[in-house]
Amino acid sequence: MSTQPPPSPRHVLEHTFGFADFRGPQEAVISTLMAGGDALVLMPTGGGKSLCYQIPALARPGCGVVISPLIALMQDQVESLRAAGVRAAFLNSALPLDEAQDIETQLLHGELDLLYLAPERLLQPRTLGLLQRIQLSLFAIDEAHCVSQWGHDFRADYLHLNCLHEQFPNVPRIALTATADQRTRGEIARRLDLESARHFVSSFDRPNIQYRIAQKNNPRRQLLRFLRDEQQGNAGIVYCLSRSKVENTADWLCQQGFAALPYHAGLPAETRAEHQRRFLREDGIIVVATIAFGMGIDKPDVRFVTHLDLPRSVEAYYQETGRAGRDGEPATALLLYGLEDVVKLGQMVAGSEGSEEHKRGERSRLNAMLGLCEITSCRRQALLRYFAEELPQPCGNCDTCLEPPETWDGTQAAAKLLSCVYRTGQRFGAAHVIDVLRGSNNEKIHRFDHHQLSTWGIGADLATAEWRGVVRQLVVRGYLEVDGAAFGALKLTEACRPLLRGEESIQLRKQPESVSRQERQPRPAAADISAEDQPLWEALRACRKRLADERGVPPYVVFHDATLREMVSARPRSETELLGITGVGDSKLARFGAPFLEVLQDFDAQPAD
């Protein structure tokens, strides 16, 4: 057992993790824990949450205990910490008994700085008894939104974590999450006994992510164009709502020449683990997944997240898109959605076993998500406003900023549509109502005698796609609602009366006639490597891959892309210069410095053309 006094937080930051300075509220959070206080931290993905507990765990006497919901996340974090020279371990059901016993022995002998546990393991009487016998530096509750029954990743075991306050009253606690609206924040604080803790709420803005949302118009073609034009060779995630769509999309992408792997809860555990391992350790892998994939994925160089179906809520959308660009480099979030998504999600809410209050909350969150899709102003401003944060100016890095949508006076069209919904009895979905408006002569129209209605054929001037846009926007604005329990039937709301009476006008977003310029044209990444530097960049990546494969870890555990980019730019020639590169600490310099310096020196020695 070491008798050396713990290092200062700044020493740990610089020498263990290789960073020159703290970011945002990190220093204030760490100071709170160093003084023995509790903290509740809301910080976006990629904002440096883990350092908020890893640094004080190393700078305070004893072992820090991290409660984490996923085995994969624990393994990932521990691999990265060990590469940085930190004495870290995890205890979970995946470990053989002898390995688990070895880790418990290390814990009792004071040979660990950080121990990761699942909440189920922590709450076992044996584990709590073990922790009572050692000196603890802190408890960190990661992914704290799992405690919220309003949240999208609820875990029942998180509800019992208030026992830490009762059984270890003198050990500081920190709860962290990247996604929580104000109601969820309050629930986290209440359920974890953190109402008197200091609360740190960082900006939710992820300026490096370009948000783009488009209506579905042959979504496979849209996805293929996006991948081929902009994301060739990049790692990314494609989210789908159903398991069958996940598997079909992954198969189709493989046929198109991409390395695509399916991931959903219905696959065998070993298949899911292998696909996740490949995604973390190989370059250019695309995972096609349901929301079962992603929480705790610590891969920094995910360049895109695409949704082929509408997410259930703005919280889910924010968290899922936040898995892109954790390294701060440019990334893209592309969402393709249609009215059929609204119908399907509405049916899922209607058929759920939750209380009426829960269903109302789900419908409200779905409407907010649909509203984000249909707005004509800056997406990022609307997204941040949902989390009670104001962005003073439009972001300039979302589709509505880069290519402002056209609007048109939709007052007359809206009145026609609302009147048609009323005259067909508020019993039919959008497709049938649009057929009536456009004067269709199909069998269903004649079966219900809807060709006799005064609204039959009065909307022939607009295409079906344009009418579907009108429907979506009237749903978003509260003039119509979709009845999920009645197979997506459109129903009028009280709000539509002034519009029907001609007392109100409405501007609607114009539906694009073709694929937008933003989809046609590739967006160059600001951090692209120049053609001249490309050979060195590839050589450094190859060196990293070799070192990672030798150790059985993902490449980013050795160094992040941002660190390699800085090497290309700065061309360090000595260990001292290499130590000045962001992300290179003492331990990584000792382990990996020589091979990278050798690559850099080889390129220095090459004669100029």
**218 and 268 both lie in a single domain:** yes
Statement: the pTM of the whole predicted model exceeds 0.85: no
Of 168 and 24, more confident: 168
462 located within any domain: yes
342 located within any domain: no
Of 153 and 92, more confident: 92
525 located within any domain: no
Averaged pLDDT for residues 62-70: 90
For residue 516, is pLDDT > 50? no
Report pLDDT for 480: 86
Report pLDDT for 299: 84
Averaged pLDDT for residues 578-582: 88
477 located within any domain: yes
365 located within any domain: no
For 331-388, what is each residue's pLDDT tens digit? 999 999 987 887 788 777 777 777 777 777 777 778 778 888 888 889 998 888 888 7
With CA atoms as reference, report the closest residue to 55 among 90, 79, 89, 21: 21
286-295, 303-312, 372-381, 574-583: which is most confident: 303-312
**221 and 318 both lie in a single domain:** yes
Report pLDDT for 518: 42
575 located within any domain: yes
**97 and 231 both lie in a single domain:** no
Of 226 and 163, more confident: 226
The mean pLDDT value of the chain amounts to 86
CB atoms within 10 A of CB 607: 4
* Domain coverage including residue 237: 209-337+375-402
**177 and 51 both lie in a single domain:** yes
Averaged pLDDT for residues 33-37: 94
127 located within any domain: yes
For residue 469, is pLDDT > 80? yes
Tokens 């993790």 belong to residue: 17
Q: Provide DSSP, 306-321.
A: EESS--SSHHHHHHHH
CATH of the domain at 495: 1.10.10.10
Angular region, 335: left φ>0, alpha ψ -120 to 50, beta rest = beta
Helices (H), 331-389: 339-350, 356-374, 379-386
CATH of the domain at 191: 3.40.50.300
**385 and 417 both lie in a single domain:** no
Grade residue 281 by pLDDT with cuts at 50, 70 and 90. Answer: confident
Rounded Cα distance between 52 and 75, Å, is: 19
Rounded Cα distance between 207 and 300, Å, is: 15
Angular region, 385: left φ>0, alpha ψ -120 to 50, beta rest = alpha
**194 and 113 both lie in a single domain:** yes
CATH of the domain at 586: 1.10.150.80
Report pLDDT for 526: 37
For 82-91, what is each residue's pLDDT tens digit? 988 999 999 8
Report pLDDT for 484: 62
For 135-147, what is each residue's pLDDT tens digit? 999 999 988 888 8
For 152-195, what is each residue's pLDDT tens digit? 566 778 888 888 888 999 999 999 987 666 777 888 888 888 88
User: Which residues are CB-neighbours of 390 under 8 A, at least 6 positions away?
Assistant: 381, 384
For residue 1, is pLDDT > 60? no
Indicate the residue among 465, 484, 518 that finishes a domain: 518
With H, G, I as helix, E, B as strand and everything else as coil, classify residue 297: coil
Indicate the residue among 173, 201, 229 that finishes a domain: 201
Rounded Cα distance between 165 and 149, Å, is: 21
Rounded Cα distance between 21 and 18, Å, is: 9
Grade residue 514 by pLDDT with cuts at 50, 70 and 90. Answer: very low
User: Which residues are CB-neighbours of 600 under 8 A, at least 6 positions away?
Assistant: 536, 540, 567, 571, 572, 573
| Cβ–Cβ under 8 Å, residues 176 and 139 | no
Averaged pLDDT for residues 295-301: 73
577 located within any domain: yes
List of E strands, 401-535: 407-409, 480-483, 489-492, 507-509
For residue 326, is pLDDT > 90? no
Phi, psi of 372 (to 5 degrees): -60, -35
**395 and 482 both lie in a single domain:** no
For residue 130, is pLDDT > 70? yes
Q: Among 16-30, 112-126, 482-496, 505-519, which is the least confidently predicted range?
A: 505-519
**438 and 576 both lie in a single domain:** no
Report pLDDT for 24: 84
Averaged pLDDT for residues 267-294: 86
Averaged pLDDT for residues 46-59: 90
For residue 468, is pLDDT > 90? no
**145 and 48 both lie in a single domain:** yes
Report pLDDT for 282: 86
Report pLDDT for 296: 55
Task: Specify the number of domains making up the chain.
Answer: 4
The partner residues of 153 in beta bridges, in order of sequence, read none
**180 and 216 both lie in a single domain:** no
**51 and 191 both lie in a single domain:** yes
Grade residue 6 by pLDDT with cuts at 50, 70 and 90. Answer: confident
CB half-sphere exposure, 426, CA atoms < 13 A? 12
**184 and 213 both lie in a single domain:** no
